[in-house]
Amino acid sequence: MKDLTNPFWIKLKGVLFLVIGLAAALLVFLDNPKWQTAVLLAVAIWSCCRFYYFAFYVIEKYVDPSYKFSGLIAFAQYFFQRRK
C-alpha cells in the first residue's frame, strides 16, 4: 500500500478519526447518561492520548533517540524485547 502524502487527505483522515471518536463517546454516554460515565469516558480518552504521546514522543526523544516507531505494534515489540 502506498503512503498517504496529500495534505488534504491526511487532514481529512484526522478529522474522520475525531468524528468517529466523538460519535463513539456520545453513543456510550447516551446509552448510560450519568456524570460518572462522562467522567470515566473523559479519563479513558485522556489516558489513551497520553499513552500515545508517551509511545511516540517520550520514548523516541528521551529514552532511545535512535529508534523510530512505525506503529503501536512496533512500539510493543520494542517495549517488551529484552535488551542486551
Per-residue pLDDT tens for 36-71?
Answer: 999 999 999 999 999 989 988 888 888 888 888 788
**Percent of the chain whose pLDDT exceeds 90:** 52
Global pTM reads: 0.70
What Rg value do the Cα atoms of the chain yield, rounded?
17
Q: Nearest-CA neighbor of 43 among 61, 25, 31, 24?
A: 25
